[in-house]
Amino acid sequence: MSSQPDPPPFQEKDELHQFASFLTRQREQITERWMEEVKRSPKVESANPLDYHELADHLPKLFQDLADGLDSKGVFEEETHDDAESHGRHRWQQDYSLGELLRELGIVRHMILVHGLDAFEDGSASLSRAGRRRIRECILRFFEETAAASTEQFVAEQHQQLQVMNSRLQEAGRSLKAVNDRLNEADASRLLLLRTVSHELRNTLDALNGAVMVLGLDGIEDAERQKMFMICHRNLTDMGQLLRELTDYAMLLDKQPPVNVEEFSPALLCDELTAAFRPVAEVEGMTFEAYSHPALQEIRSDRLKIKQVLTNLITNAIKYRKPGAAAPGRIKLAFLPARSAGQWEMSVEDDGIGIAPEHLETIFEEFQRVAPERAKIQGAGLGLAITKRLIGLLGGGISVTSEVDQGSCFKVDLPKSLAG
């Protein structure tokens, strides 16, 4: 809006000034007329739901800019440009289409060119031909500039909204992908569950079937019968264990099981576990040591869940013993006060086959077994996943240190007193 027209001679200057004063005086009436014309036009439908104030709010300012421009002999200031942009922004916010914005400006331009000039001449001396032409030129230039600046602003607003919508669309796309990935993961994990469980069941059933067939043979010796009986017993125990793990796992997946807080003595729990597991360990040629620190008196937590955690860890310590080792295997269970106040620690240590460093992270995930050398040891890879979830429910954490062929040590940190 800074291009400078040729300066007009004196008479035209005076006429421009008079018309400018006329516009300033009449700007409220002209604004009202603008509103009427726009509301009447079927081509600017978006104006209909708006009230006078909403539509006309900034318009007197635009008329003032036109009047000021005429007064400055057709030089429109930067402010005119800003007001035109603000007009574009207003109409964008009022849901106009670009066509409606331009049509509205066309209606007003026509109104001022025809009715405005007529009204001015009706009320004062007639304009000279040159003066009239100069005023018309100024009005046309004003509306050209206003249409350009408000259109630019309108399009910029549109562009900005498109960018916002685009980023929302991308965000929605990302969420959709995440949902899809989760569904795929769920599918994959269901498939893995089916594969693992059917594999375990087939192995156990094959072993059972073989042993039962031998037991049915005529003339089978006592020692052989005893051996087959042991095979049946062990495989039935494995099936029972698998079933228990599946039930526990299903329960943990379905909903958070309640935590039943009670006060108990860790020393008594230690004795209970020793009574249950020392005989099993000894059958496998292992020793079982247990220690509960005297400073640990009462614990407030879910005793049964803690027992289940320790049962899983001790069962693994027995399962993953070193086969055919010269010296008897050793399991140590210990309950100790932890370094941080309010915590206590349980550990299960063995001198079994150990775990390679690359598997230490994954063993706590569902169905993660360290294959293939342990494929012969029964298991679905659920025990540690269940253990970790149970410990999480009790507000604790589990960690492991291990060395292949040297043994493993699982440590569980728990709060001494759980609320509830």
User: What distances in angstroms separate CA 200 from CA 48, 205, 318, 324, one per listed residue?
Assistant: 74, 9, 19, 24
Q: Per the structure block, which two tokens stand in for 352?
A: 């079994």
197 neighbors 381 (Cβ within 8 angstroms): no
Nearest distance from C-beta of residue 258 to ligand ADP, angstroms: 24
Query: Taking phi first (over 0 means left), then psi (-120 to 50 degrees means alpha), and beta for anything else, what does residue 219 get?
Result: left
- Is residue 235 a contact residue for ligand ADP (CB under 6 A)? no
Count CB atoms within 10 A of the CB of residue 383: 24
The continuous run of DSSP H or E covering 398 comes out as strand 397-403
Q: Is 408 in the site for ligand ADP (CB under 6 A)?
A: yes
What span, in angstroms and rounded, lies between the C-alpha atoms of 277 and 230? 19
Choose between 219 and 324: whose C-beta lies nearer to ligand ADP: 324
Judged by CB under 6 A, the stretch of 27-35, 117-125, 181-189, 366-374 that binds ligand ADP is 366-374
* Site map (CB under 6 A) of ligand ADP, residues 323-362, x = contact: ---------------------------x-xxxx-------
Alpha-carbon dihedral angle through residues 314, 316, 320, 326, given to the nearest 10 degrees:
10
Neighbour count for residue 76 (Cβ, 10 Å) = 22
**Interatomic CA distance for residues 68 and 90, integer angstroms:** 22
Query: Is residue 316 a contact residue for ligand ADP (CB under 6 A)?
Result: yes
Determine which residue in the list 116, 266, 329, 379 makes contact with ligand ADP, applying CB under 6 A.
Answer: 379
Does 193 bind ligand ADP (CB under 6 A)? Our answer is: no
Residue 317 interacts with ligand ADP (CB under 6 A): yes or no = yes
**Burial category of 353 from C-beta neighbours within 10 Å (exposed 0-12, middle 13-18, buried 19 and up):** buried
Q: Which is nearer to ligand ADP, 308 or 368 (CB)?
A: 368
- Least distance in Å: CB of 161 to ligand ADP? 53
* Smallest distance, ligand ADP to C-beta of residue 371, A: 8
Pick between residue 262 and residue 403 the one whose CB is nearest to ligand ADP: 403
Residues in binding contact with ligand ADP, number by CB under 6 A: 21
- Select from 34, 277, 288, 320 the one that contacts ligand ADP (CB under 6 A): 320
Smallest separation, CB 381 to ligand ADP (Å): 4
- Report the residue number, 218 or 373, with the smaller CB distance to ligand ADP: 373
DSSP 8-state class, residue 417: B
Which residues here bind ligand ADP, judged by CB under 6 A?
A: 316-317, 320, 350, 352-355, 363, 368-370, 374, 379-385, 408
